[in-house]
Amino acid sequence: MMPVVEKTRKIIAVSSRKDLLCFGRKLEYPFSIILQDGTDLVCEKSLRILPGKRLTLQGKWKDKNVVAKIFLAASGAKRHAARDYLGIKTLHTYKLNAPEILYNGKSKCKDMHILIYEFITSSQKVKQSWEQAKSLNEQKDLISKLAQTLARQHTVGLWQSDLHLNNFLLKRGKIYCLDGDGIRFRKKTKSLSLNKSFYNLAMLIEHLTNYNTEHVKTVFLEYCAYRNIPVTENYYDKLLLSMDAVRNRLNKKQMEKTLRDCSSFVCRKTNAIFQVYDRDYDVFLLKPYFDHPERFFEISSLTYLKKGRVSSVIKVQLEDFELVIKRYNIKNLLHGVKTLFKSISRARRSWLSAHYLKLLNVNTIKPVALYESKISKLQFKSYFISEFLPAKNIVQFTMRYEHELSLLKPIADSLIMQLQRLYTRSVTHGDLKATNILVHKNQVIFLDLDTVTWHKSQYRFERAKQEDLQRFLRNFVHNEVLYAYWQKRIKEEFE
């Protein structure tokens, strides 16, 4: 039997910043960079990539496992590297857990600023620990440690400007802070003000997926205990108000991210088109269709779901990809002129609404792509592409339970929950007809999101909410039993 010989991968030599910029997001490993002191940094794995700005990589340096941050921006690289270094050094000064700095300098060609940190073994990102926690007690234990970590920072006048769970590591019950660049501090050693402290604490809470009131109270009580802050209703309300402010800021930031090139989306803009699509679908088969979505309508096996003057909806299958494409048509000259001068296309509204509903944990179809064609800067034609979901609409699904209404409870509970999540944020769907509400595995899923509206006026919101609910009830006017059932549930929850 022949022995198995493991092939060693050839190490690519990177000699300049330009070499790394050419890779973009698709870095080839392993590669090496010669540092200013003549030593070799061998990079083996991506941890985080901000194209053209910063790479965070795992690798080896002087036979040690390390994490390297390579700053690439033409302007700002030196400033960000210095801030990252100073942030970690400041944490060390106050005996707060952070990785050891092993190298602070440039590459041999002097066009890259590089920081090398120790690789903290037997550790796990706090985000992963949170998601894997098996009980409420495990979650409480973890967020208690995080609250204490922030309290220690705030006590000495430090806070984190970019506070999210991936910037922390957990090792044997200890929390390590990783983001030196995000550390801010007072020039004079002084505890952080309560307003700023609660805002920073709110940032932590808003990054916890599926948190509840118990989690908020745990963080609040732990934090107050460590800093000897009186536990009062007034302070708790301050925290809740800070959470609202942080949530709005994070949602806005997340929505802006859906319209630019980043780790989640591919984006292309010219004077003639605007295109963005999910990186999960960045495959050779689909790219020609995303670049020219009218090609979807040329597929012989397509199925029309709707063929109208204002919009056309088709379903197509390309190998394993089953997609729904909605094309917004120009029905006549007057409609075309009106469309040209709208600030936002209906396809873009659908795209943004789908992502916003996901932020609110409201069930909707997965958005895949958005495409807009333009004349000068004025919109002309647009397409919204989403995943196909094989499911019945809510009227088709509920008809079978006309004589067993008790079996409708999980579907009704799901609908009420989804609507409450919308209405809590002053958002209305705008067209709750049956074909826009699917039922899949006893969960209600909303479709056709180009009428979703974010309301600033409470009066207009209340009026639109009532229109939503009345439109939903009209789906059942031809069935007295189901109409009475849904009317009763709606009244119980929303009146």
The CATH homologous superfamily of the domain defined by 12-118: Phosphorylase Kinase; domain 1 (3.30.200.20)
186 falls in which pLDDT band (50, 70, 90)? confident
Every domain range in the chain assigned CATH 3.30.200.20: 12-118
- State yes or no: pLDDT of 331 exceeds 70: no
- The reported pLDDT for the residue numbered 377 is 57
Q: At what angle do helices 194-206 and 233-257 cross, to 10 degrees?
A: 50
- The reported pLDDT for the residue numbered 15 is 82
CA angle in degrees (0–180, nearest 5) for 332-336-339: 140
What is the CATH architecture assignment of 124-243? Alpha-Beta Complex (3.90)
Facing residues of 453 across strands?
Answer: 428
Higher pLDDT, residue 123 or 310: 123
Q: Under a CB-based contact definition with an 8 Å cutoff, are residues 355 and 276 in contact?
A: no
In a 13 Å sphere around the CA of 214, the CA atoms on its Cβ side amount to: 8
pLDDT (tens digit per residue) in 15-74: 888 888 888 788 889 999 999 999 999 999 999 998 889 999 999 999 999 999 999 988
pLDDT (tens digit per residue) in 343-390: 688 999 999 999 999 999 899 999 999 999 877 555 578 999 999 999
- Give dist(CA 366, CA 386) in Å, integer: 6
- The reported pLDDT for the residue numbered 378 is 58
- Give dist(CA 322, CA 388) in Å, integer: 6
- The reported pLDDT for the residue numbered 376 is 59
In order, the DSSP letters of 117-160 are: EE--SS-EEHHHHHHH--SHHHHHHHHHHHHHHHHHHHHTTEEE
- The reported pLDDT for the residue numbered 471 is 97
Mean pLDDT computed over 301-306: 93
Every domain range in the chain assigned CATH 3.90.1200.10: 124-243
**Model-level pTM greater than 0.85?**
no
Alpha helices (runs of H) in 305-441, residue ranges in sequence order: 333-340, 346-359, 394-399, 409-424
- The reported pLDDT for the residue numbered 495 is 78
Whole-number average pLDDT of the chain: 91
- State yes or no: pLDDT of 119 exceeds 90: yes
Mean pLDDT computed over 212-235: 95
User: 382: part of which helix (H) or strand (E)?
Assistant: strand 378-387
- The reported pLDDT for the residue numbered 8 is 62
- Give dist(CA 155, CA 191) in Å, integer: 4
265-387: CATH number: 3.30.200
CA angle in degrees (0–180, nearest 5) for 131-117-61: 120
Mean pLDDT computed over 223-230: 96
- Give dist(CA 327, CA 349) in Å, integer: 13
Mean pLDDT computed over 102-118: 95
Q: Under a CB-based contact definition with an 8 Å cutoff, are residues 114 and 123 in contact?
A: no
* Tokens describing residue 370: 């958005």
Q: Under a CB-based contact definition with an 8 Å cutoff, are residues 201 and 150 in contact?
A: yes
- The reported pLDDT for the residue numbered 5 is 45
- The reported pLDDT for the residue numbered 343 is 61
392-494: CATH number: 1.10.510.10
- State yes or no: pLDDT of 312 exceeds 60: yes
- The reported pLDDT for the residue numbered 379 is 59
For the stretch 190-208, what's the b/e string if a residue is b when 16 or more beta carbons lie within 10 angstroms of its beta carbon? eebeeeebbbbbbbbbbbb
